[in-house]
Structure 1
Amino acid sequence: MKHNLKVDLVCLFPKENSTSHKTDKFDLVRDEENPIAVLRRGLKFTIAIRFSERNYEDERDIVKLIFSFGPNPNAIKGTKVTIRLDPKSTDFEHHNNWYAGFLERSGDLFTLEVSASVHCPVGNWFLQVETSRVYSTLPPSTFDYESEIYILFNPWNQHDLVYMPQGELLDEYVLSDVGKIWIGPWGSCRGREWVFGQFYGCVLPAIMLMFNSSELPTASRGDPIKVTRCISKMVNSNDDNGILVGRWDGDYDGGTAPSSWTGSVEILQKYLDKHRSVNYGQCWVFSGVVTTICRALGIPSRVISNLVSAHDANATLSVDKYYDLSNEELNFDPLNPTGEDSVWNYHVWSDVWMARPDLPIGYGGWQAIDATPQEISSGFYQCGPASLEAIKKGQVGFNYDIGFMIASVNADLMRWKIDPMSDLGFTQIHCNKYHIGRMILTKQPHIFDANGDKDRQEITNQYKAKEGTPAERYFLNKAVRCSRFANNVHSLSHSNSEDVEFELQELEKINIGESFALILNIKNVSDQVRTVKTLMSAGSIFYTGVRAHVIKKSEGEFRIKPKSTEVLRMVVTSEEYLDKLVEYCILKLYAVATIVETGQVWADEDDFQVQKPKININLPDGVQINAATKITMSFRNPLQQVLTKCKFNLSGPTLLRNQILHYRNVKPGVMVKIAINIIPLVPGEQKIVATFSSKELLDITGSAKVKVFDENY
């Protein structure tokens, strides 16, 4: 009796297969000593098996490929797959099934083509080759392939749930490893460069650690709906040992200030090395990491910035602010003691692309997921995936978190004043239907503007109908009707006479160190004299809308003649605001007015960001591959104080690994300048991103593009 075939070698040709699978950029594949196969499901790849001692016999030898996934592989759950090699099998059987067929047989060497099911779990699989003999009493012999095999989603395959028909967009939403995140208040936001770095060697192992720390069953890791919901839960650390600890108070001792990160790679490397959450993140950092994870797994993803974003804490589809009898805003919600509505200057989350077989036809495509911990969903801090089409059409009954997302982009801002005569205790004095969701932005595909915002794309109309149109009001009211709390709030309205018009003038760009003025235009359109009581104030705030410091306040009372106008101006000097600025240098201008004769109350506010200098990165237009090139980075200290604990963070895929460069103290008005060498590894257009931070000054950023030429240029 002949013995079982002995497997001498199994080769998965990681580099050769990676080209057709569009995974050739992964460091794991490019590793010179131990390349690891990174493949996409539903697409053929090549395997070679070499036998020793004797050749394969068609009628007597049995050879099986056994693929296993997770700690307890199970054939019923799809986490263990056994494929018996059949010399007569020559082509795909069905995209739902795994497949293996012969390409070539030459003596002791088999060359096979294999494909994973288009619905299989994604992550690190393991391969075992089993050999046995027909009618033999010998136990099977096994050979374990030495490396893990990563199998990813395949957005290029029409049968995969993440398939994107506009294939050219996948160059941006899956393969682009540097992008932008728009941050800052309405009117002064800017695109901040971010290195997604999804092809770095630490990224896929860090993702596997994240999944293994979650409660997502291994059998569910092929479903993009469940996978992306899990990602939104695990990127924050609120419920578990997630990737990032969120912090918004400006105190970042014991970690890294969010504004100092240049991208996701350093965060994921720290998470992988320490097996614990990394300090610290904020919404745009959470979103950057989410997008890195999704693109690494093959899920098309983009970063979304919502300028003027609502946090609806009590599911009323409104943001409610309350004022006392003196027109001072209350710092709590008297009707909702467990939470308080807030308006963030901006909020950032991610969109992911997928089909939604759990929803009616037409609700696939872009889906919003948010890893920033705001509200609990199904017992955890997670959000989405929420269909953009469902958000736009007010379908609050659909999965997941549609109502919360509708409020984020389209809640009404309602102001209430104490009224002892009202059964509620408050009377609505103003309702702004246009303030929330002023603009929703993402990066435009195939463009990167290192010096400006020409790569900005507005997608507000993908989240809601145009503000003020019948369609916009219809879909919001449709959502309101499905919520008892929202119905109760939206049914109340104010009926005061309004015959005096107010306009709080929006500020243009203000550079740090310059003075500015709060300007209020008032027009009496009535035929009678009106007595106006006003309160104007300026203060510093965190971008989440939390107040930090009052900078200046002015109160007054005056009479305005019929059919006439008045302009009130409050000047704020740099000496008054510089020492009260907090992270990101955002200021809130606020004005409230009461008409004595009619009881009319008006209030409005404007947030803007004091502009900081950008880092100027000086480097040649073109550089040679594998050759050291000197670059310099510089900016001038805009503050009238010494900068201490200074450091630069640099990152640039294929140009240099993440680096931290410490810098000496910087005196007021002095130029900060530092040089470093880069060694480009890959030809083509490459990008570098830098941040500067100090104890006194954060959020200084810069970026540059460079053309890298190969040796033959």
Structure 2
Amino acid sequence: MYNSSELILRRGQSCRLTLEFNKPLRDWKSIVFVARTGPSNSTYVNTNVEFPLSSSWSSGMWSAVLESSPGNSLRIIMSSPATAVVGRYDLSVRISVMGQTVTYSLGKFILLFNPWCLDDDVYMANEEERQEYILNDHGVIFMGNENHVTGMGWNYGQFENNILNICLDIMDRSLNYQKDSALDCSQRHSPIYVGRIISAMVNSNDDFGVLEGKWEKDFSDGVDPNSWNGSVEILWKWKNDNYKPVKYGQCWVFAAVMCTVLRCLGIPTRVITNFNSAHNTDGNMVIDMHYDTDGKFLEISDDSIWNFHVWNESWFLRRDLGLYYSGWQVLDSTPQEESQGVHRCGPTSVIAVKEGDIILGYDTPFVFAEVNADRATWVVQKDGSKERAHSDTKYVGQSNQHQHQSSWK
């Protein structure tokens, strides 16, 4: 489905290679394939893999099996493990024959996450859901308020021309890659890691990522967030302007672009809208609203409640938390609060949020507050003392919606 002439593979699947020679290959001592991703000087085993041509299969490892050798050719079945690093690869072969060893470059390929593969952390069992959350290139994003929900059509366009390469560029421009490119690439086997990188890179805070956010009304030096109707134009513009942040995005634009990137890389993803969404800045799970004795609103706290907020949920295992917390994970690229010093959010296990297990990483207390904080109303007396006038436990987190089926609350 990718509009690309490049070889694109999903990890954990096999593909056939045919090596053509100008004469029959006899008496070869060894044939070794080398698949390399990331910087050439990387010493990480999973970014520079050597595997010999053999007659038997090696489950869970890179392997090349000789299928047949008609005439002057070798037909080979190559397969990657379901835990392989995703990204751009160089493939070469080293052939030792009659005391001589020669290395041939075979070309490049791109390796992606594989939700169809049982052993992949992003495996999704239901084919209808795979069609929706990986292959569907358009959708509806819900906006408005809880009493008046409107839908907006969006072209995700994850298979369109050059989008996959731009998604790989996004990873290669992250702060982690700049700091230690070999270490960064070696961790790209994990959807937890990749999701967190993309969450930081879709906004431009900290790292000159894809989109610059703006919530005031003057968008004259860029594009009004309400004018976008697809991700492709935004991603193309970022690349064509030499990776200068695109102006402007708001929450649904950030979420839609991140949905495009994650689906493109093979991580099942959907766009979620939460109505009456809380933004808790001090981690106390309470949105504090202050009024003076005349009923005038006072801007004492940075806490706020948005009519709606849009984020993503992606589907994968949580080996870091325990498999109970696997399944849908919240990822939010709208720059709200810093997480470990960078504007990003997640992945936060939806099950952890539902269970109130807020001690778990990443950013579970923040997401829990978005859907479940109490709204406290305070009256501030003339002498500065505060008195709690009202507490509402039901207001925040109404009618979470996404396109496929009703979501969680």
Instruction: Tell me the TM-score normalized by structure 1.
Output: 0.55
**Contact in 2 for aligned 1:375/1:381 (Cα 8 Å):** yes
C-alpha distance in 2 between matches for 1:431 and 1:69:
54
AA partner of residue 107 (structure 1): G
The answer (yes or no) to whether the contact 2:336–2:343 under 8 Å persists in 1 is: yes
**Residues 145-184 of structure 1 mapped to structure 2, 5 A cutoff:** 145-146=106-107, 148-184=108-144
Amino acid at match of 1:41: R
1:43 aligns with 2:13: yes
Structure 2 residue identity aligned to 1:195: N
With over 3 angstroms needed to count, the CA separation of the structure-2 counterparts of 1:141 and 1:385, relative to structure 1, is same
Q: Does residue 293 in structure 1 map to residue 268 in structure 2?
A: no
Q: Are the aligned partners of 1:202 and 1:268 in contact in 2 as well (CA < 8 Å)?
A: no
Residue among 350, 353, 363 paired with 1:401: 363
The answer on 1:207 being equivalent to 2:175 is no
8 Å contact kept, 1:418–1:427: yes
Worse-matched range after superposition: 161-170 or 300-309: 161-170
1:625-682 CA distance string (max 9 Å, x none): xxxxxxxxxxxxxxxxxxxxxxxxxxxxxxxxxxxxxxxxxxxxxxxxxxxxxxxxxx
C-alpha contact 1:349 1:369 (8 A) present in aligned 2: yes
Q: Secondary structure at the match of 1:184?
A: strand
- What letter matches 1:121 in structure 2? V
Q: Is the 8 A contact 1:75 1:81 kept in 2?
A: no
8 Å contact 2:376–2:388 — kept in the other structure? yes
Unpaired segments of 5 or more residues in structure 2? 178-183
Name the SS for the 1:391 alignment partner: helix
Aligned to 1:341, which of 303, 328, 338? 303
Match of 2:105 in 1: 144
Q: Deviation at 1:264?
A: 0.5
Query: For 1:273 and 1:428, how far apart are their aligned partners in 2?
Result: 53
- Equivalent position amino acid for 1:434 in 2: K
How far 1:243 moved relative to its partner? 0.7
Q: CA deviation at 1:133?
A: 2.5
Larger mean CA deviation between 172-181 and 359-368 belongs to 359-368
**Out of 58, 77, 82, which is 1:118 matched to?**
82
The answer (yes or no) to whether the contact 2:138–2:156 under 8 Å persists in 1 is: yes
Shift of 1:75: 5.7
How far is the alpha carbon of 1:371 from its aligned partner?
0.1
* AA matched with 2:103: T
CA distance in 2, matches of 1:174, 1:65: 31
The match for 1:392 is 354
Superposition pairs of residues 209-608 of structure 1, within 5 angstroms = 209-214=169-174, 215-216=176-177, 217-274=184-241, 275-333=243-301, 340-419=302-381, 425-444=385-404, 457-461=405-409
Following superposition, the deviation at residue 200 of structure 1 comes to 0.9
Q: In the alignment, does 2:142 pair up with 1:189? A: no
Number of corresponding residues:
401
- Partner Cα distance (1:366, 1:73) in 2: 36
Larger radius of gyration between Structure 1 and Structure 2: 1
Q: Between Structure 1 and Structure 2, which shows a larger proportion of helix residues?
A: 2
Secondary structure of the 1:171 match is helix
Amino acid at match of 1:118: A
Cα distance in 2, alignment partners of residues 200 and 389 from structure 1:
34
Aligned-partner Cα distance in 1 for 2:239–2:165 = 7
Counterpart among 7, 10, 25 of residue 56 in structure 1: 25
Alignment check: 8 A CA contact 1:311 1:319 kept: yes
Aligned counterpart, 2:180? none
Q: CA deviation at 1:420?
A: 5.4
- Find the residue that maps to 1:299 and give its secondary structure: coil
Contact 2:44 2:186 in 1 (8 A): no
Aligned AA (2:58):
E
Instruction: Give the AA of the match of 1:224.
Output: P
Task: Specify every segment of 5 or more residues in structure 1 that has no aligned partner in the other structure, as ranges.
Answer: 1-24, 29-34, 334-339, 445-456, 462-713
Following the alignment from structure 1 to structure 2, what is the Cα–Cα distance between the partners of residues 325 and 169? Answer: 53
Q: Please identify, of 124-133 and 430-439, the stretch whose mean Cα deviation from structure 2 is larger.
A: 124-133
Please report how far the alpha carbon of residue 73 of structure 1 lies from its aligned counterpart in structure 2 after TM superposition.
5.3
Matches of 2:408 and 2:392, distance apart in 1: 18
Q: For residues 43 and 258 of structure 2, what CA distance do their matches in structure 1 show?
A: 31
1:198 to 135, 154, 158: 158
**2: distance between equivalents of 1:426 and 1:198?**
51
* Cα distance in structure 2, aligned partners of 1:291 and 1:160: 19
Identity of aligned residues (%): 35
How far apart, in 2, do the equivalents of 1:193 and 1:73 lie? 45
Once superposed, which parts of structure 1, at least 4 consecutive aligned residues long, lie more than 4 Å away? Answer: none
Matched letter for residue 94 of structure 1: S
Please list the CA deviations of residues 290-339 of structure 1 after superposition, one character each: whole Å capped at 9, or x if unmatched: 11111111100000000110000111101111011211111332xxxxxx
What's 2:92 paired with?
128
Superposed CA offset, 1:449-506 (max 9, x none): xxxxxxxx32134xxxxxxxxxxxxxxxxxxxxxxxxxxxxxxxxxxxxxxxxxxxxx
Counterpart code for 1:27: N
**What letter matches 2:169 in structure 1?**
L
* Counterpart secondary structure, 2:367: helix
Distance (whole Å) between structure 1 residues aligned to residue 293 and residue 275 of structure 2: 31
Residue 434 of structure 1 aligns to a residue whose secondary structure is coil
CA shift, 1:68, in A, is 0.7
Match of 1:94 in 2: 59
Q: Contact (CA 8 Å) 2:18, 2:75: kept in 1 or not? A: yes
Q: Which amino acid aligns with 1:229?
A: R
Contact 1:202 1:272 in 2 (8 A): no
C-alpha distance in structure 2 between counterparts of 1:107 and 1:249, whole Å: 70
- Cross-structure match for 1:80: 48
73, 82, 95: which one aligns with 1:109: 73
1:211-252 per-residue CA deviation (whole Å, 9 max, x = no partner) reads 111114000111110100111000001011101111111211
Shift of 1:419: 3.0
